[in-house]
Amino acid sequence: MSRQSNRTTDSKKMNSELFTLTYGALVTQLCKDYENDEEVNKQLDKMGYNIGVRLIEDFLARSNIGRCQDFRETADVIAKIAFKMYLGTTPSVTNWSPAGDEFSLILENNPLVDFVELPDNHSTLIYSNLLCGVLRGALEMVQMAVDVRFAQDTLRGDNVTEIRMKFIKRIEENLPAGDE
């Protein structure tokens, strides 16, 4: 009985490590293909956005979550359900702005940076910028325009990884004439 449990745990760990190493190979290739870190950061964000646009459908189907009532509820769903479902980690939601339109996701452990050390010549690379794009793309598909950026990163010597999210506006659905 415990042997089966160990296999499941080993399989999840292997899948996680394979994902981490594959992501590292992707970032390495982008660094070779583009002149500077800013271009790599843009490409990671763009790739993440495209993933987020598609991933939201899977998330909504698998999680059975309805429409969030406000930005605070959205933050909790992202942290407690989405990150756990796709990255196996649960960030804390903190540092809310007084207006309630901005918060931080604090990742004690970012699974994308396991086995990673940034070389000195890539000091402006935002290695996990794909996550910002995923969040932005997914939320745009549920009519929320947000600004997402890294505020702190353990790869840069910070104690935690902090993703800062700011609500910009609710996107109105533009239905074609006659499709009301």
- Report in angstroms the alpha-carbon separations of 29 from 22, 35, 94, 120, 135: 11, 12, 34, 17, 23
Is the pLDDT assigned to residue 14 strictly greater than 90?
no
Measured in whole angstroms, the distance separating CA 46 from the mean position of its chain's CA atoms is 12
Distance CA 9, CA 31 (A): 33
Return the domain boundaries, the chain: 16-170
CATH node for 16-170: 3.30.1380.20
The alpha-helical segments, DSSP class H, found in the chain are 2-33, 37-63, 71-77, 83-87, 129-141
Give the H or E element holding residue 164: strand 161-170
What's the confidence (pLDDT) of residue 113?
A: 83
3-state secondary structure of 106: strand
- Give the pLDDT confidence of 88-104 residue by residue, as tens digits: 889 999 999 999 999 99
Give the H or E element holding residue 96: none
Q: Read off the pLDDT band of 49 (50, 70, 90).
A: very high
Q: How far apart are the first and last CA of the chain?
A: 55
- Give the pLDDT confidence of 129-166 residue by residue, as tens digits: 999 999 999 999 999 999 999 999 988 888 999 999 99
Residue carrying structure tokens 């189907």: 61
What's the confidence (pLDDT) of residue 132?
A: 97
Answer yes or no: are the C-beta atoms of 40 and 31 closer than 8 Å: yes
- Give the pLDDT confidence of 17-40 residue by residue, as tens digits: 777 788 889 999 999 999 899 999
Phi, psi of 108 (to 5 degrees): -65, -30
Is the pLDDT assigned to residue 76 strictly greater than 60?
yes
What's the confidence (pLDDT) of residue 61?
A: 92
Residue carrying structure tokens 């840069």: 156
